[in-house]
């Protein structure tokens, strides 16, 4: 259970950090540290460790990667399963007008299956690319409308995106991974939750410094900016990666 070890490790490290930092800085800034400092450090360490572990759990167990990730990295949305789509197949052949030859091919996925097959040729399985063609776009039903998801392809028929994400030109909807099983769509609720978790991290650190270990509000704001920023952009991504589903 990696999350249990994450909680224990964070609790120990944060408790030592709060205790040592408060002992040193408060003795320098306020002549003497706050009373019952060891107990205060334990409470602050547990408080922040619980939040960080809870956020890690929420993000790593979400419907898709970084649904509740850190700022500039989160991908808030909801996942919608795909049962059929049309692929825009581009052949490695040019027409007389100089344009690449293209063909629209429809694929469906049998109920309960994980593989797509050509609707008009059920024996032919969907393959992302072959020596003679690549799929430059997938057209996926979304309610009563259709969404065109594209991926850049070079003149040498090489996918330019290392992860081969198919996404809308505006980037709002995109395919999760390279296998067209699920499409991620915008979600106001997921977006608000991701922002709340990012903001909550700083509020938790502020409460720990100000209300628990008893720094002044001014010093607490400064310490929160420093430690909150380090945790947000360095520590949390490491926790997300090390606690990802499938990792031991």
pLDDT at residue 181, as a whole number: 84
pLDDT at residue 92, as a whole number: 86
Question: How do the domains of the chain map onto residue ranges?
Answer: 2-74+189-242, 78-186
Lowest mean pLDDT among 13-22, 110-119, 195-204: 110-119
pLDDT confidence bin for 21, thresholds 50/70/90: very high
Lowest mean pLDDT among 37-41, 112-116, 189-193: 112-116
Lowest mean pLDDT among 16-20, 134-138, 175-179, 209-213: 175-179
Residue 248 has pLDDT above 60, yes or no: no
pLDDT confidence bin for 108, thresholds 50/70/90: very high
**What mean pLDDT, rounded, does the chain reach?**
90
pLDDT tens digits, 134-180: 888 999 988 888 999 988 887 777 777 766 678 888 768 888 776 78
pLDDT at residue 240, as a whole number: 95
DSSP string, the chain: -HHHHHHHHHHHHHHHHHHHHHHHHHHHHSSSPPTTHHHHHHHHHHHHHHHHHHHHHHHHTSSSTTTT--TTT----EEEE-SEEEEEEEEEEE-TTSPEEEEEEEEE--TT-S--EETTEEEEEP-SB-SSEEEEEEEEEETTEEEEEE--B-TTS-BSSTT---B-TTSSSEESSSSTTEEEE--HHHHHHHHHHHHHHHHHHHHIIIIIS---HHHHHHHHHHHHHHIIIIIHHHHHHHTSTT--
pLDDT at residue 247, as a whole number: 59
């Amino acid at each position: 259970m990696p999350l249990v070890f994450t909680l224990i490790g964070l609790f120990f490290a944060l408790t030592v950090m709060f205790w040592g930092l408060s002992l040193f800085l408060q003795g320098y800034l306020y002549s003497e540290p706050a009373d019952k400092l060891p107990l205060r450090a334990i409470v602050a360490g547990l408080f922040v460790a619980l939040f960080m572990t809870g956020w890690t759990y929420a993000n790593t167990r979400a419907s898709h990667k970084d649904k509740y990730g850190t700022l500039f990295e989160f991908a808030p949305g909801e996942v919608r399963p795909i049962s059929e789509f049309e692929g825009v197949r581009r052949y490695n052949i040019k027409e007389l007008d100089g344009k690449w030859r293209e063909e629209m091919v429809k694929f469906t996925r049998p109920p309960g299956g994980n593989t797509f097959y050509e609707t008009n040729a059920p024996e032919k399985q969907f393959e992302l690319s072959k020596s003679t063609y690549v799929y430059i776009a997938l057209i996926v039903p979304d309610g009563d409308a259709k969404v065109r998801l594209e991926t850049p392809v070079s003149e040498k028929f090489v996918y330019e995106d290392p992860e081969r994400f198919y996404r809308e030109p505006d980037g709002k909807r995109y395919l999760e991974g390279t296998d067209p099983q699920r499409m991620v769509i915008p979600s106001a609720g997921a977006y608000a939750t991701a922002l709340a978790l990012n903001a909550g991290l700083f509020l938790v650190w502020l409460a720990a410094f100000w209300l628990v270990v008893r720094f002044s509000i001014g010093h607490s704001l400064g310490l929160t900016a420093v430690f909150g920023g380090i945790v947000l952009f360095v520590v949390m991504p490491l926790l997300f990666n090390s606690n990802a589903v499938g990792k031991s």
